[in-house]
Structure 1
């Protein structure tokens, strides 16, 4: 078993505020992203805040995916962490596209590394429209 993995942190800006406040949509969206990436979901918990906002977590056999939303700010934060060397770009693009995100900051960290490293940061302003599809 390897302890090395990838940890992607995303700040999504100018998202569709209706989607950000729809707990059912967000849970389906996160589950589809995980399953399409070949991840095994062990547990799912999503909570709707009042008057608005959602927080959700998928516990995976290889780690987790989480989302937190602020519909009033049109902002969502995501966290994807998995051991091994999976391609996390496809699920990231899928999540951003389905939320109609206009701009995102993506931070990438290698986990299980026993030496100092720089956190890689990339601004995403064009979400790949060929990734994803109707997730509802």
Structure 2
């Protein structure tokens, strides 16, 4: 068993604010991203804030996926962490597309490594 993993951090800007306040949409979107990577969902919890905003987490057998939204700012933060060598590029692109983000900063960090690393960041947008 390897302890190495991949941690993807997404800052998504200029998103569709309607989606960012729709708890059912966000929960289904996150589940589709995890299941699309053949990940096992162990636990799911989402919370709707008043007057707006959603926070949620999927506990996965390989780690987690979390989301926090600010509809008034059209902003979403996501963390997608998985153990092993699974490539998450298609899931990241799926999440950004579903949120209708016009600009996203995607950070990739290797976890479980005992050497210095350069954190990779790329800008994605429509």
User: Given the two structures, how large is their TM-score scaled by the length of structure 1?
Assistant: 0.91
Deviations 1:6-51 (A, max 9, x none): 0000000000000000011100000011001110000000000000
Superposition RMSD in Å: 0.6
Unaligned runs of 5+ in 2: none
Q: Distance in 1 between matches of 2:59 and 2:95?
A: 17
**1:115 Cα deviation from its structure 2 partner:** 1.1
What is the CA–CA distance in structure 1 between the aligned matches of 2:19 and 2:45, rounded to whole Å? Answer: 17
What does 1:108-123 align with in structure 2 at a 5 Å threshold? Answer: 108-123=108-123
Structure 1 runs (4+) greater than 3 angstroms displaced: none
Partners in 2 of 1:86 and 1:117 — Cα distance?
19
Q: Deviations over 1:52-90 (max 9, x none)?
A: 000000000000000000000000001000000111111
Q: Distance in 1 between matches of 2:6 and 2:30?
A: 17
Map of 2:77 onto structure 1: 77
Structure 1 residue 125 displacement after superposition: 2.0
Note the C-alpha offset of 1:114. Answer: 0.5
1:60 and 1:106 map into 2 onto residues whose CA distance is 21
Which residue of the partner structure matches residue 66 of structure 2? 66
Q: In structure 2, what is the Cα distance between the partners aligned to 1:17 and 1:72? A: 7
Summarize the alignment of residues 1-136 of structure 1 with structure 2, pairs less than 5 Å apart. 1-126=1-126
The 2-side partners of 1:125 and 1:44 are apart by 28
The answer for unaligned runs of 5 or more in structure 1 is: 127-136
So what's the TM-score if we normalise by structure 2?
0.98
- Provide the C-alpha distance between the structure 1 equivalents of 2:29 and 2:43, rounded to a whole number of angstroms: 15
